Amino acid sequence: YPDGLKLLALEPADKSLQRSVMGMAFTAGDFARAEELCRDGLRASPADVGLRQLLAEIRRARGDAAGAAAVLDELIAGPAPPPGALLARALLYEEGGEPDKAIPLLREVLARDKTRQRTAGTRLATVLERAGKPDEAKAVMAEVRRLQDVEVYGEAIKTQPTNRAMHVQVAE
């Protein structure tokens, strides 16, 4: 991180380096510097969804849930909200004790983003349980486990393509 800061001082216009150092600052817990770098990036590219989501994460890490929520609310207000922003906002609702607001966002992530299905499904099951809907939570968790099994067996087949027993298990 200190070397990244030195490089950035030498090459302040290097946006790729700026993002790398921003990530290093976040990882190092230097949230003030991470936010400063993020806001610099947003001044140059105000529509950058990734930077806006990162700003929300930085605000959350700094203990400013309301600031994080405001950034995420802007992101999810559009016609095609980014699944990462939906998930992050749902987590803030969950942490804030508002499970009923988290549930529809988690459902949308589950339906729209295959890469986040297990994460969103697990969170949804937890929130449903807390919201007093244990049967629905169990059904969601069963689907998450099924998805996990499909993924595990899919990877296993790649490494053991001639294992007929495994092919039968996947088919079942």
DSSP string computed for 117-160: HHHHHHHHHHHHHHTT-HHHHHHHHHHHHHHHHHHHHHHHHHH-
Q: How much is the pLDDT for 61?
A: 95
Q: Tens of pLDDT along the chain (172 residues)?
A: 999 999 999 999 999 999 999 999 999 999 999 999 999 999 999 989 999 999 999 999 999 999 999 999 999 998 889 999 999 999 999 999 999 999 999 999 999 998 998 899 999 999 999 999 999 999 999 999 988 888 888 788 888 888 888 778 777 7
Token output for 16: 């790729």
CA–CA separation, 132 and 118 (whole Å): 21
CA–CA separation, 68 and 92 (whole Å): 8
Q: How much is the pLDDT for 24?
A: 96
Neighbours of 138 (CB within 10 A): 13
Q: How much is the pLDDT for 129?
A: 93
Alpha carbon distance, N-terminus to C-terminus of the chain: 50
Largest CA distance in the chain: 59
CA atoms within 13 Å, Cβ hemisphere of 170: 16
Which letter does DSSP use for residue 80 in this model? Answer: S
Q: How much is the pLDDT for 164?
A: 85
**Of 61, 92, 167, 62, the residue nearest 84 (C-alpha):** 92
Q: How much is the pLDDT for 158?
A: 85
Q: Could you tell me the pTM of the whole model?
A: 0.81
In degrees to the nearest 10, what's the CA dihedral of 102, 110, 72, 76?
A: -110
Q: How much is the pLDDT for 149?
A: 82
Q: How much is the pLDDT for 78?
A: 81
